[in-house]
Chain A
């Protein structure tokens, strides 16, 4: 027996990125804009979607709901009469903590791509793993709620760096917390200079119009592109 060194130099996430590009090409062909929607558990992703998905002017939205288990979130959104597809990650070891490109690929056939203009992929609640795995999205949006603390951009820089928009949720609670909003926004700027951010409350509806406009703008940007 002898040992031979073989030089490889290959990004270990290449396989995922290749499948993500194939997903993106399929979504492009169907004319569907894809939003990868991420946050820590309990930040308010589903509540923020409930506020807007049935009500985007001229944009038909579908949701792909990623959860480790159950269909509670999907049931909430289906009651708004938008097409919702559930993707559970639990068949693999202990339930994956994120969606990867292959999981989204496996759901392609069950998505009504001809009937929608925008697909929101609600990722598994987690600030670490989802940031590593592209799924074929056009844009990435994350939610950071004020109850999570202002240091989160510094602790999870990869997530904050790769998102086009940061929604700062639960701002109706600011008066009751020691949370330093300016400090948080400064930290976002340190980690991702120039990142867009919107202050919102899914509970009171504050900032929801701006969130709806942002999504409508993303969908409109596709229509302006030459086919």
Chain B
């Protein structure tokens, strides 16, 4: 269900930029921390896109690995499990450096080719 809501948000963002033009490809950057299941998101996107300029468009997901940065240590590390304390100093002054992304990176739109006059 989570992916249904998110696919609606992706669709609205794309339609805002595409206007009336047909969209053939949507590239999305999804951080590991967003807990998105790619196949499910693709499934729902196809569903919500019906009847819009995105109908039949392919959704391409780039997964962004999660990494954290400890402010006092200035250390950065990748995480596989959701543990947000710094492994060096044990501190909690830690920021997400990457992994929270959920952004439409680019779209591919179809435009009628200009036929140059002979």
Please report A residues at the B interface, Cβ cutoff 8 Å: 1-16, 93, 96-98, 100, 126, 128-129, 132-133, 153-154, 156-158, 161, 189-194
Other A-B contacts than A6-B108, A97-B1, 13 sampled, CB-CB below 8 A, are A1-B111, A2-B111, A9-B104, A10-B13, A11-B103, A12-B9, A12-B103, A15-B9, A126-B1, A128-B35, A133-B5, A157-B33, A193-B91
* Residue interface bits B61-87, CB-to-A below 8 A is 1, else 0: 000000000000000000001111100
Determine chain B's interface SS by DSSP, over half rule.
mixed
Cβ-neighbour of B105 out of A9, A97, A133 (below 8 A): A9
A93 to B1, CA, bound (A): 11
Q: A3-B24, A8-B107 are in contact. Are A190 and B84 (CB under 8 A)?
A: yes
A67 CB to closest chain B CB (Å) equals 15
Assign chain B's interface to a size class.
35 or more
Q: A12-B9, A12-B104 are in contact. Are A191 and B110 (CB under 8 A)?
A: no
A101 CB to closest chain B CB (Å) equals 11
Chain B residues contacting A158 (CB-CB under 8 Å) are 33-35
Please determine whether A193 and B85 come into contact, CB atoms closer than 8 angstroms.
yes
Q: Does B52 contact A (CB under 8 A)?
A: no
A sample of 26 inter-chain contacts (CB < 8 A) reads A2-B113, A3-B24, A3-B25, A6-B106, A6-B107, A8-B104, A8-B105, A8-B106, A9-B105, A12-B28, A12-B103, A13-B9, A14-B13, A97-B2, A128-B2, A129-B5, A132-B5, A157-B82, A158-B34, A158-B35, A161-B82, A190-B82, A190-B85, A191-B84, A193-B84, A194-B92
Cβ-neighbour of A129 out of B2, B85, B108 (below 8 A): B2
Q: A132-B6, A194-B92 are in contact. Are A8 and B13 (CB under 8 A)?
A: yes
B14 CB to closest chain A CB (Å) equals 8
